[in-house]
Amino acid sequence: MIKRFNRIRFSKLNKKLKMKKKELEKFLNRLEELLEVNGCNGRDLTNAEIILEEMNIPKNEQIEFLENCRKSGGFCDCEIFLNSEEYLREIYVK
C-alpha cells in the first residue's frame, strides 16, 4: 500500500518536473567531475548550482531541483550522491 502511494505521489510530482532523466544524468556526471576537482565544502550546494547554471536550467527549476536535493538529505554537493541520488532518480524518470 505504501509503495503504491509513493508511486502515485512520484507520478504526480514527475508531471510537474521539467528536468528529464537525461538531464539528471548529465547533472550527476558533471557533479562527479567537479567534486573530483573542487571537492565538497560540506556546507552548501555550490557545485550543483554551477552545473545547473551551465546547463541553462531556468531559475525556478533550479530552485525546485535543489529543494528536492535538500528534502532527500542533500545539503552539500557530496550528500547529493550519498543521500539524494536514489530519490532524484525516482522522481526524474522520463
pLDDT digits (tens, 9 = 90+) for 10-31: 444 444 557 889 999 999 999 9
Total structural domains in the chain?
1
Mean pLDDT of 65-81: 97
Q: Is residue 75 over pLDDT 90?
A: yes
Q: Is the pTM of this model over 0.85?
A: no
Residue 7 has pLDDT above 70, yes or no: no
Give 43's DSSP letter: S
pLDDT of 40: 95
Beta carbons of 12 and 47 less than 8 angstroms apart: no
- What is the residue range of 50's domain? 2-91
pLDDT at residue 80 in the model:
97
Q: How confident is the model at residue 33 (pLDDT cuts 50, 70, 90)?
A: very high
